[in-house]
Chains A and B, each alone.
Chain A
Amino acid sequence: MLERLQTDILILGSGGAGLFAALHAHAAAPDLSITLATKGLLGKCGCTRMVQGGYNVALNPGDSIERHFMDTIEGGKWLPDQDLAWTLVTQAVVRVRELENEVGCFFDRNPDGTLHGKAFAGQTFDRTVHKGDLTGIEIINRLMEQVWKRPGVAKLEEHRALALIPARDGASVSGVLMIDVRTGGLRFVEAKAVLMATGGGPTMYRYHTPSGDKSMDGLSMALRAGLKLRDMEMVQFHPTGLLAGPDTRMTGTVLEEGLRGAGGYLLDGGMRRFMADYDPKLERATRDVVSRSIYAEMKAGRTTPNGGVYIQMSHLGPKDVAKKFKGMVDRCRDCGFDLAGGLVEVVPTAHYFMGGVQCRPDTSTEWPGLFVAGEDASGMHGANRLGGNGVANSTVFGGIAGDVMPGWIAAHPGRRAPDEDVLAAEIARAQHPFGKTPGNVHVLRERLMDLMWDEVGVVRDAAGIARGLAGLDALEAELLETGVADGDRAFNLTWHDWLNLRSLVETSRVIALAAGRRENSRGAHFRSDFPEPGDLDTSTYTVVRQGAAGLAITEEPVQFTIVRPGQSLLDVKEAAE
């Protein structure tokens, strides 16, 4: 039944974080056995591939690391862990050079041959390096080619991680239980070091942008392992997701930010341009403001047929729009919408998860042997992630994890056998739905998505959060009674839908709890009952941990290790010059 494998380093996920970790670990210690397990095909799943905008890096002589750092801290509303953010902005420089020079990425150039940096919202310098509007494809394709090239990295494609299994000491990691999706068989991979890089993914919302394979599995695994989860209330919504109606996977997918930047209008169902009611910057206001404004229009019932608002580009000249936003216009056309000349319905859509496992700048966690990187990790972005800092985050820290793990293994030799009881319990847990009468998983997922959208979404309040928590309990109880037919377990998507849903319900509860705890409004988190940001100097972040007695939530003070609110590194730098 259970197949057991052993490896030195086990990496979960093949996004920017996972692939970089594999390359760095292999370079640092070619003799170690490295195994990369990923839910889809290598490099063809996850969100790094979907990056359109680009990669923030202070490479231009007119820019500086300090400026990038300050943009990150201010964008994060002073909640980021400053040491993590500093690591992010400094290492991004190295990582982009590595991507160009060693991995082979082909970033766009200025006419003089230097790297082109484009403008991205919330930044004081045009520092976003890109390849057209398909930056993620370029980064991931080049990374996955490099990983395939190294036979020393064993690949477990279409392997879904189910649980972190502790060692017998109960306080370090022994390995990971997973399903071989293609056969439906279970595998336990014992490893000396494990990197979790499954990429978060707030897909529990009615409207969401991430790829279908992402369902917060990593964070639900970490939760069950008893690890500390930080900033879990921080869900970033992108203001303009495509609204194509029910029963289509197109709904929720992102329509790029640049459309508003270029002068696109947002119109309510009655064709009125409404942003003036909310912000003097109109459609060019920040992501969170625009998202909340659209949400308010929707709450007020001034909606389009499918319940959103319109984006209009045609006044800029359909031909010009079709030229400037070719990718976007083509995509809309393929799906039956005329973005250049007509109206397209849009809606805010859950995009990125700032929360995650608490970790140190070297990617280590509380559990010896367990490392975390990418969207599964937390603290770099605080209350808000800058566009362009997401892929920087996954590639920077993935690489660091790859550098660090071989050294950690050398310092902590020997295998750690698994706690067989936990392993057995997790096996039973994964197979739970086969013991129940088959039911309709799909209906439950729809309910979860509505519940989280309505109660713990763009705008929150205490009453809604309470309803959300109660709803989640009911939903979980029903899910546990809903079975999946046990015939053929090979490539059984419905079984995986069930497992996805369970991960999502568990992590949704943590989101709701943390959202209830933060009684102020910062960045992505907005409480209509506490609309003020609160005192910056005494900023705290939330930490949730699952213990024997259930979920425990605390608030920890933010350590201003580099700058304090009111200060700027740029002043310090200029003073020194």
Chain B
Amino acid sequence: MTPSGKPDLSVSIWRGGADGAYRTYSVPSRDSQTVLDVVTYVQRHLDPTLSYRFACRVGMCGSCAMTVNGRPRWTCRTHVSRVAKGDKLTVGPLENLPVVKDLATDMRPFFEKWQDAKGVFEPSKTRDDAIEPIRPDTRQRQLADAGVECINCGVCYAACDTVKWNTDYLGPAALNRAWTLANDVRDAGQTERLQAVASGGGCHACHSHQSCQEHCPQTLNPTASIAGLKRLTALAYLRGEIEA
């Protein structure tokens, strides 16, 4: 029992690498307590060798995502009371990424695919030029705006079974970024980008499962972004601007 009067939480945490196992700890329950706090408690008080990753603790850096009771989530902004089943919590590393140790995954494949999707701005101007006037009410600006606040947490990537099944698939976050750039009127790399997302593991591999959209903590909609890319690339292909 704890100061809050609630029974302790029974927390199962993944320990080890890919071939690890869950181990269970008892953590005092508090009124103000996120899943990250629970994990921190275990490291600070019960098992100093527990590894996990976090930085900002306010949902901005996207480095604390884990699998909590079977669902990928940002842990710093997930209050325990919203996810605990009774007094039980199961916390594992994100799926679809290699495990480094315990709760920390290797995010490199995620970011490599981000690059493969050409999720990077290609400048058409320099610092010596004036800033491009872009009216906020234009359609393209609004489309780009809708998807731009991604924190690259990898939650959508972990939630998508197409990522799991198709190792070439670039995944929702990378494609969502490509879509925001496709709507960026300042960008000079449009054809190359469309080409990149129209090939093998590109946007067409998505089956609109929408798990990405359902789980995105920033409430972005990668499904809609990917659909947009499917349209753009199909048109570009039919016009002969890109190849299969």
Contacts and interface: CB of A to CB of B under 8 A. Distances in A.
Contact of B123 (A50, A104, A136, A211): A104
Given A106-B184, A249-B37, A137 B32 contact: no
Contacts of B130: 97
A115 interface: yes
B207 interface: no
A130 B33 CA distance: 31
A545 interface: no
Interface stretch (B77-85, B157-165, B223-231, B233-241): B77-85
Which residue among B49, B62, B135 has the maximum number of chain A CB atoms within 10 Å of its CB? Answer: B49
Nearest to A45: B55
Contacts of A490: 51, 101
A149 B115 contact: yes
Interface string B98-137: 0011101001000100110001110111111111111111
Contacts of B139: none
Interface of A is mostly: loop
Interface string A20-44: 0000000000000000000011101
Interface stretch (A160-168, A258-266, A481-489): A481-489
B57 A250 contact: yes
Contacts of A491: 51, 100-102, 104
A98 B78 contact: no
A141 to B, nearest CB: 7
A141 B150 contact: yes
A249 B36 contact: yes
Contact of A40 (B43, B49, B63, B121): B63
A463 B195 CA distance: 68
Given A41-B107, A248-B30, A492-B51, A146 B40 contact: no
Given A138-B148, A334-B77, A493-B52, A114 B34 contact: no
Given A101-B123, A250-B32, A442-B44, A44 B152 contact: yes
Contact of B32 (A49, A113, A245): A245
A50 to B, nearest CB: 5
Nearest to A333: B79
Given A485-B49, A494-B48, A249 B60 contact: no
Interface residues of B, number: 72
B135 A250 contact: no
B47 to A, nearest CB: 9
Interface in A111-136: 111-115, 131-132, 134, 136
Contact of A97 (B104, B127, B141, B181): B127
Interface residues of A, number: 69
Nearest to A498: B48
- B-side interface mostly: loop
A101 B129 contact: yes
A200 to B, nearest CB: 15
B61 interface: yes
B77 A335 contact: yes
B57 A211 contact: yes
A136 B128 CA distance: 23
Nearest to B138: A113
A40 B53 contact: yes
Contacts of A248: 30, 32-34, 37
Nearest to B108: A157
Contacts of B40: 247, 249
B229 to A, nearest CB: 17
Contacts of A442: 44-45
B55 A488 contact: no
A106 B148 contact: yes
Nearest to A445: B44
A109 B134 contact: yes
B63 A101 contact: no
A533 B186 CA distance: 49
A46 B115 CA distance: 22
A244 B37 CA distance: 12
A247 to B, nearest CB: 6
B100 A182 contact: yes
A206 B91 CA distance: 28
Given A41-B63, A245-B32, A212 B57 contact: yes
A336 B29 CA distance: 14
Nearest to A149: B120
A145 B51 contact: no
A45 B133 contact: no
B78 A334 contact: yes
B144 interface: yes
A108 interface: yes
Given A97-B129, A101-B127, A250-B32, A146 B120 contact: yes
B53 A106 contact: no
Contacts of A132: 149
A99 to B, nearest CB: 9
B15 to A, nearest CB: 11
Interface string A513-526: 00000000000000
Q: What 6 A-B pairs are tightest by C-beta distance, nearest first?
A: A104-B121, A113-B133, A491-B51, A98-B127, A494-B48, A244-B32
24 contacts: A40-B53, A44-B63, A100-B186, A101-B127, A101-B131, A104-B121, A109-B133, A111-B135, A112-B133, A113-B135, A136-B60, A141-B150, A142-B121, A148-B115, A213-B55, A250-B32, A254-B58, A331-B59, A331-B77, A334-B78, A335-B32, A488-B49, A491-B104, A493-B43
Interface of A: 40-42, 44-46, 49-50, 59, 94-98, 100-104, 106, 108-115, 131-132, 134, 136-138, 141-142, 145-146, 148-149, 182, 211-213, 244-245, 247-251, 253-254, 331, 334-336, 438, 441-442, 484-485, 487-488, 490-494
Interface of B: 30-34, 36-37, 40-41, 43-45, 48-63, 76-79, 81, 100-102, 104, 107, 111, 114-115, 119-121, 123-137, 141, 144-145, 148-152, 177, 181, 184, 186-187
